[in-house]
Amino acid sequence: MSGSESQERKQAEAGADWESLAHSAAHAKLGGADESEMLRELLVFLLNGTRYAISVDRVREIVRLRAITPMPHVPEEILGVIPLRGAVVQVVDLRLRLELESTAATRRTRIIILHGDDGRITGILVDAVQEVVRVPEDEIRPAAAGDGEAVAEIFLRGEDFVSILDLDRVMEFHVVQ
Amino acid sequence: MAARHKRKNQQSKAHREFISESEETLEGMRGGLADLMDQRVDPARDGEIDPDLINTIFRAAHSLKGLAGMFGLDSLGRLAHHLEDVLDGLRLGRNSPNSPAIDLLDEAVRLFASLLPQVGSDDFEENSVSPVDDLIARIEVALEDAVNVPDELAGLDLDPSLLRALTEYEEHRLRENLRRGRHLSLVDTTFEILSFEEGLAEISAAIKEVGEVVSTLPSPGEVPESQIRFSLLAATKISAEELAARLEFSHTSVRSISAPAAVEEAHPSEPDSASSRASEPPEAGLQAGSEPPEAGAASEMDSLRSISATVRVDIKKLDDLMNMVGELSIQRASILDIVQRLSREPSTARIGGELGRVHKLLDRKLNELQSGVLEVRMVPLRQVFEKLSRVVRRLQRDLGKDVAIDFSGSDTELDKLIVEQLVDPLMHVVRNAFDHAIETAEERRNVGKPERGEIFITASQRGNHVVIEVRDDGRGIDFDLVRRVAAERGLVPADAQMTEKETLDLLFEPGFSTRGSISSTSGRGVGMDVVRTNLVAMGGMVEISTTAGLGSCVTLTLPITLAIIQALIVGVENQRFAIPLNSVLETLSVDPGSIQTSEGRELLNLRGEALPLRRLSDEFRLTDTGAARDRQFVVVLGLGDRRTGLLVDTLEGQKDTVIKAIQGPIEQVRGIAGATEDGENGAILVIDVASILDDAARRRDAA
């Protein structure tokens, strides 16, 4: 092979390399998973000793417990409002909402700030936030009938089952004025 | 998954916006082009097209281009760009009105309109490319037969500095007028700075009656401090002398520039000003201008000069600014707190004093900043009124009713945010009036009313509120019909006895509509309840009054600004609340013994009048800590002519607050207008005064 030809070939190879590098970089940024192997990213938290999870793309941020100002004329699951960098956000007591027993707040109590499709934000009070997991779709099962309306699916993590909450159901409040 | 869904929604919403804005612009263009075609063949005009008309159509094309660019619609943008080119050529005399390029304008507009409905479809760009490119190619061919205009500005008796100040467009107009043998004059006039706009408008209008104002330039020269001088370059069919005779304005002189001539005085209204004007030397720089203007004399082609010197600002930026000012205010309050603490200790008192002086200045500057930002947010209602005019015109077309709409108070200013949120409710009220209230021509004739219905919209500022009334001269509200429909819908029991006010209130119930069928314009029953909700969310209220057979009136009351408002902080049962100060008439300290009870309700004798009282703790069903209080406070609330006293435990002072809407699953909480941040203490709920007054009135009527 002549010098110029090998040069050209090298350049072509380099070009191809660059292309594949760009591809994989983009792919990695987008979450990397191959289409056939769908992964769901979930935030796992603790409520009354039980683990629950919600889809990560609904989570805006997680803040520490702070003074909650109560509001009149709202269901008791709405604890009140907190200020959040220029906005004022209602906080839902998820325990009450899921009809679990109430427990006292601890250092680990957190408020998860969620955002809905319509841009509205809400906070939910949880006992502790644990981790973010990526669960393959085929490991997620529909929940049994007895698990209540708010739990749509479950998956196994280690030894326990984690209940994935249907947030739209959870946030549906029927208010009688 | 959710993110992609959101993006798709935003796309179609954006496209819908584009379509609606473009439609309006296209309509205007069509009308303008029709006029242009008429003028083209009008013998009286001799082929001359009104320059204002060309400008209007040009601006419309420019808007379309900008819109298409904003929404990423490439082919439409290119089409609009070529429209601009053709119109620009026409403006500057490069193309004659009879050029084939002008004919293509109409075709282009029609192509645009036909492509518009498909915007947003997946293969829009692919499908639109070839028809657009074809038309563009034909336009480019047509544009090639441009006309080269010889220079005729030589020989004008005009100061070269003035000539240099003209834009390319104005130069073209000068030449055009010269070519048509018009008289060119320089009208020199002086006004008071405070009122020059009106004066300028008057004199321009007077000149336009007999010709054209090619350019208006502020003029240097000796004038008293309170005045400003202008030079208007006028092209008229009549001579300068005749023009001078027509312009009966003081401090005005007219000089012909198409041929050197003597100065002519205009006839002023005050004789003394005439003599003082006559003694002043003629226009500086009077020369036989033989040198041609410099090539490219004017600043670069400033084709948008007719648009006023404003800046479009995203409302979100104004909101952010407002928030920042609010936060600065909170910090300022903290500084004051520190000043007070320092001043208390003798060892730090001096420093406290120094800091205190700095704080005072800071406070003043912050207030100015706040006022400034607030002012930026204020816009006149005129824009809303113009939109309403268009809506009514469309309704007239669609429904075939003849209705006139009149406005007054279009100068009344409101916070931009409120104006934005006002448009939809107002539109709905107007549609209602049009559709339901105003009778058909026949019905009106039968009752002796003029066939043409009328809707009056008036806006006025009353203290810290703006009141907008939508009045119609239609059939008025039929109370029996309302009661019947309400009973049918199960909103009230069939035999309920209701006062007129209660009946009118039914109109605000969700799902209420007295129309049997849903017309395309209204009657879908999503009406007045949404209007009320929107108004209340803004801290305002809406009321209806009516007279059978004569008409109805919907009154919207709004606070002037939603941004930073002053609030009174009160304490009730260990919780604090904020009450917008603009609805507080006064505060009183009361001895519980002075509260009277009558028919289960509490009243206070306020200077001889009975003021109904309402306990905030009852209003919000707060737990009564049972603490005995020997002194309580009454906050007298007032909105319109309603009054109620709110009973609270403590008064904690005033605070500049920025009311935020409360976000969360519960959308509307009765009695609460929003909340404001309280630094580390969390949030303070802001009371919705209108609903409290509403409830009080309702309770009163129920008695």
Residue B658's CB: how many other CB atoms inside 10 A? 23
Decide if B664 and A83 are in contact by the 8 Å CB cutoff.
Answer: no
Q: Give the DSSP H/E element, type plus range, for residue A140.
A: strand A140-142
What pLDDT score was predicted for residue B362? 93
Residue among A30, A82, A88, A172 with most chain B CBs within 10 A, to mutate? A88
User: B217 near B204, Cβ under 8 Å?
Assistant: no
Name which of A67, A87, A89 is nearest B681 (Cβ-Cβ).
A67
Nearest to B3 among A57, A71, A171 (CB): A57
Q: Please, which pLDDT band fits residue A24 given cuts at 50, 70 and 90?
A: low
Tokens for B262, please give them: 């003597």
Here the tokens at position A173 are 């409040």
CB pair distance less than 8 Å for A72 and B3: no
The predicted structure's pLDDT at residue B297: 36
**Calpha distance A29→A10 (Å, rounded):** 28
Of B660, B669, B681, the CB nearest to A74: B669
Separation of alpha carbons B356 and B343, rounded Å: 9
Distance from CA of A129 to the nearest CA of B (A): 21
Q: Is B576 left (phi over 0), alpha (psi -120 to 50) or beta?
A: beta
Which residues touch B526 (CB under 8 Å, ≥6 apart)?
A: B510, B511
Successive 10-residue mean pLDDT values, chain B, 703 residues? 44 71 84 84 77 85 84 85 85 75 84 82 78 83 59 65 76 81 86 80 87 84 77 86 80 72 37 37 34 36 47 77 79 86 90 92 88 81 83 78 85 79 85 84 87 89 80 88 82 77 79 50 57 75 88 86 76 88 87 82 84 83 67 85 87 79 78 78 84 74 59
CB pairs under 8 A between A and B: 98
Question: CB distance B5–A117 less than 8 Å?
Answer: yes
Distance CA B620, CA B523 (A): 35
Asked if B459 contacts B408 with a C-beta cutoff of 8 angstroms, the reply is yes
Q: How far is B661 from chain A (nearest CA, A)?
A: 7
What are the E-state strand segments in A48-138?
A: 50-55, 59-64, 78-84, 87-93, 110-115, 121-126, 128-136
Cβ distance of A82 and B662 shorter than 8 Å:
no
Report the amino acid identity of residue B182.
R
Distance (Å) from the C-alpha of residue A99 to the closest C-alpha of chain B? 18
Beta-carbon contacts of residue B575 (< 8 Å; ≥ 6 apart): A69, A70, B622
- Tell me the residues of B at the A interface, defined by beta carbons under 8 Å apart: 1-3, 5-6, 9, 323, 575, 619-622, 660-666, 668-672, 674-678, 680-685
CA-nearest residue of chain A to B663? A89
CB contact under 8 A, B663 and A90: yes
- Dig out the tokens for A44 from the structure: 């796992």
Contacts of B347 (CB under 8 A, 6+ apart): none
Kindly give, in sequence order, each residue whose CB lies less than 8 Å from that of residue B30, ignoring residues fewer than 6 positions away.
B109
Contacts of A27 (CB under 8 A, 6+ apart): none
DSSP reduced 3-state for B553 = strand
Instruction: Sort residue B591 into left (φ over 0), alpha (ψ -120 to 50) or beta.
Output: beta
A165 has a pLDDT exceeding 70: yes
| Nearest in space to B516 (alpha carbons), one of B492, B491, B488 | B488
pLDDT at B277: 37
Chain B contacts of A168, Cβ < 8 Å? Answer: none
Task: Compute the distance between CA of residue B19 and CA of residue A133 in angstroms, rounded to an integer.
Answer: 43
Partners of residue B532 in chain A, C-beta under 8 Å: none
| Cβ contact, residue pair B660, A86, below 8 Å | yes
Interchain pair A72, B669: CB under 8 A: yes
pLDDT of residue B145: 57
Least confident of A44-48, A49-53, B560-564, B627-631: B560-564
Question: Is B575 within 8 Å of A67 when comparing Cβ atoms?
Answer: no
Q: Do A73 and B671 touch (CB under 8 A)?
A: yes
Smallest CA–CA distance from B320 into chain A, residue:
A86
Q: Side by side, which strands form the sheet with B211-218?
A: B211-218, B227-236, B183-192, B252-256, B264-265
Chain B closest-CA separation from residue A162 CA (Å): 21
Residue A124 has pLDDT above 90, yes or no: yes
Cβ of B663 within 8 Å of Cβ of A87? The answer is yes
Q: How far apart are CA A134 and CA A140, in angstroms?
A: 11
B62 phi and psi angles, rounded to 5 deg: -65, -40
Interface mutation vs chain B, best among A29, A71, A114, A137, most B CBs within 10 Å = A71
Q: What is the mean pLDDT of chain A?
A: 78
Looking at beta carbons, which residues of chain B come within 8 Å of A173? 665-666
Please tell me whether residue B287 adopts helix, strand or coil conformation: coil
CB contact under 8 A, A67 and B664: no
pTM over 0.90: no
Q: Which residue of B has its CA nearest to A71?
A: B685
Structure ipTM = 0.72
More confident residue, A175 or B129: B129
Residues B665, A123: C-beta atoms closer than 8 Å: no
CA distance B82 to B64: 11
Residues of B within 8 A of A81 (CB-CB) are 662, 664, 675, 682-683, 685
Q: Are B652 and B571 in contact (CB under 8 A)?
A: yes
Distance from CA of B669 to the nearest CA of A (A): 7
| Dist. CA A53–CA A162, nearest whole Å | 7
B326, burial (CB in 10 Å: exposed 0-12, middle 13-18, buried 19+): buried
A69 and B675 in contact by Cβ < 8 A? yes
Range from A35-44, A70-79, B210-219 carrying the lowest mean pLDDT: A35-44
Cα B413 to Cα A103: distance, rounded to the nearest angstrom: 53
Report the gap between the CA of B575 and the closest CA in chain A (Å).
8
As given in the structure block, the two tokens for residue A13 are: 């190879």
- Amino acid making up residue B659: I
Contact B102, B1 (CB under 8 A): no
Q: Please name the residue that has the structure tokens 């009406």.
A: B527
What DSSP string runs through B488-516?
HTTSS-TT----HHHHHHHTTSTT----S
The proportion of chain B whose per-residue pLDDT surpasses 90, expressed as a percent, equals 7
CB pair distance less than 8 Å for B666 and A55: no
Q: Give residue B596's pLDDT.
A: 83
Minimal Cα–Cα distance from A12 to chain B, Å? 33
Q: Do B662 and A90 touch (CB under 8 A)?
A: yes
Q: Please give the C-alpha separations between residue B576 and each of A70, B120, B481, B652, B683, in angstroms, as whole numbers.
A: 10, 50, 45, 9, 9
pLDDT at position A22 over 70: no
Residue B238, pLDDT score: 84
Instruction: Name the residue in chain A with its Cα closest to that of B325.
Output: A86
3-state secondary structure of A144: coil
Task: Tell me what pLDDT residue B670 has.
Answer: 78
Residues 6+ apart with CB under 8 A from B67: B18, B21, B22, B25
Q: Which residue of B has its CA nearest to A57?
A: B2
**Chain A interface with B: residues with Cβ < 8 Å:** 55, 57-58, 66-75, 78, 81-83, 86-92, 117, 120-123, 171-173, 175, 177
